[in-house]
Amino acid sequence: MDDAKTPTRADISDSDKWDLTHLFADVGKWQEDFAWVQRTDPKLQDWKGRVGESAQTLAAVLEFEKSLDLKIERVYHYASLQLAEDSTNNEYLARIGQVQNLLTKIGEAAAFLFPEILAIDDEMLAKFVADPALAEWRIKLHKVRRMKPHVLSVPEERLLALGSVALSGYDDTFSQLTDVDMKFGVLVDEKGRERPLTQSSFSSFLVKRDHELRKRAFHQFYAEFRDHQYTLAASLAYAVKADVFHARARRYSSALEAALFPDDVPVAVYDGLIRSVRANLKPLFRYFDLRRRALGLRELHHYDTYVPLVPEIETRFTFDQAAEMVLGALEPLGKEYVDVLAEGLRARRWCDRYETKGKRSGAFSSGSYQAPPYILMNYKEDVFSDVYTLAHEAGHSMHSWFSQNSQRFQDYEYPIFLAEVASTFNEELLTDHLLKTTTDPKMRAYIINRQIDDLRGTLFRQTMFAEFEKIIHAIEESGDALTLDVFKSQYRGLLEAYFAENFVIDSELDLECLRIPHFYHAFYVYKYATGISAAVALSQRVLAGESGSVDAYLNFLRSGGSKFPLETLKAAGVDMTTSAPIESTLRLFEQRLDQLEGLLL
């Protein structure tokens, strides 16, 4: 196969693709369920104005909505996964459009439900909840009731439901522009071969030993973003405007509070993360200087921060080898965990492994109730971090598996705050496993360097992203305009704060703020930083063999969305309302840095 050609789906073996027949045997079966939802959702209106009649009536409408939700979740899951595997396929684009329109219609039809639940007076609702008819809905009703200050009247909820798709168009614009329309050309690699530069292959170029190749890849990649910077800035600005609109419409004091409230996470936790990391940047600066010296560079650029510091070791692992490493690392969690994941990655084909033309970049895990928790990868054999990515996404998928096998549908969906604990926990176990299975000083240095970079990328970098999100939303909330220059200048200020002397911040790096997909789903990235802090604490307990630690962790996975995240973590042994988990992770970073300096210098 021509190295300069990105393969199509037809070029890839079926064994390397996810098997969506676990969701629907064929498109015809999908269409049957889609049609069923279309026929059934109007019947919701039978309960309009009656929700508060009795406990039995409330139970009946909740069960009916659940039957709709079960179907539509699976219908959406299938359509979204197909679009992720090829965003240029018109049939897939049409299908996801159909689902989005149906979701809007259902949202409009169901707009009466929450307001009517909230209209039930406290004394009456307490009697309802005590009734056996609502025994399975007590957790859900508690969460719904808590939202009372931010749920609007029926006509207002209907308008918000009608406008939901139109107000999220910025995300589709960003995805289509960056995944389909933008072309990054080809590069001649270190072996003289032409290779395509894409969103996915960019990371592969950044780990090459050839400094000039990394530099060319960086400047060529960002040249395309510069050509589209005004469109991207407009899309990001409207994403922020939409966040602020929704927060104000629902009577929150800020978009940040609106994002944190459903998880019952105080703004103080978000601010505390930024404060703790900001106060501990010196070890990060020290690491950058070590990296500069180890690479023999006069000055360090961003494109020099991903190449492994151990020059003699350039890894190459097949996907199957990566899976074996991950499974071996997770053995401390017990036979059930490992066996289920092994079957999912092999026989049940949960994972779509390799980059193909039109496929979504990056990686994710995506599940639906009583269906496989699928994994999208763009696996590269020469990018060692992709082994960690597989461990990370497997953490999400196994969280989904344990949750859906332990909780009812209405309680199984865990919040993102907890998801990032499960994923980064797996990465911590992988590092420990790799360090235990090698005595080679160079390989150990390589693995420690990998963990340092993981902590750098997950704790320091995501905290910087979180601070950027807070800043740009505050600017919009103050009434000032969000322009391209504002985005770039604010991001430049953060780059200067989070990076050290002897680090050259190329002008192109200001554009990085326009290419981060998570910024279109604001106040998500902080959960990576809090997640890794909780994961470090939990994994250290498991690896130390602390009594009951494995059961506590597996119970954490099983809990799904049955409790609020801070409560769930506290039950597992981590209190995220304090700075202790974050400071412990920062100490781990410094300890690993000491070890790396001892091995390299």
Residues identified as active-site: 393
Quick one: which H or E segment has residue 503? strand 503-504
Helix segments in 361-415, DSSP class H: 385-404, 409-412
Looking up tokens 């999912």, which residue turns up? 344
Residues 88 and 358 sit within 8 Å (Cβ to Cβ): yes
Contacts of 575 (CB under 8 A, 6+ apart): 566, 569, 581
User: Measured between alpha carbons, how far is 354 from 375 in angstroms, rounded to an integer?
Assistant: 11
- The values of phi and psi at residue 516, to 5°, are -85, 110
- Which stretches of 167-252 are assigned E, i.e. beta strand? 186-188, 194-196
* CA gap 98, 75 in Å, rounded: 10
Residue 203: which residues within 8 A CB-CB, separation 6 or more? 306, 380, 383, 385
Please state whether beta strands 364-366 and 194-196 pair in parallel, antiparallel, or not at all (unpaired).
unpaired
Q: Tokens 């600005």: give the residue.
A: 237
Which helix or strand (DSSP H or E) is residue 255 part of?
helix 255-260
Phi, psi of 376 (to 5 degrees): -100, 130
E strands along 69-151, which residues?
none
Helix (H) or strand (E) holding 374: strand 374-376
d(CA 420, CA 427): 11
CB 428 within 8 A of CB 535: yes
What three-state secondary structure class fits 32? helix
Question: What's at 489, amino acid-wise?
Answer: S
Residue positions counted in the chain: 601
Alpha helices in 281-356 (DSSP H): 282-294, 319-329, 335-345
Query: What is the C-alpha separation between 43 and 64, in angstroms, rounded?
Result: 9
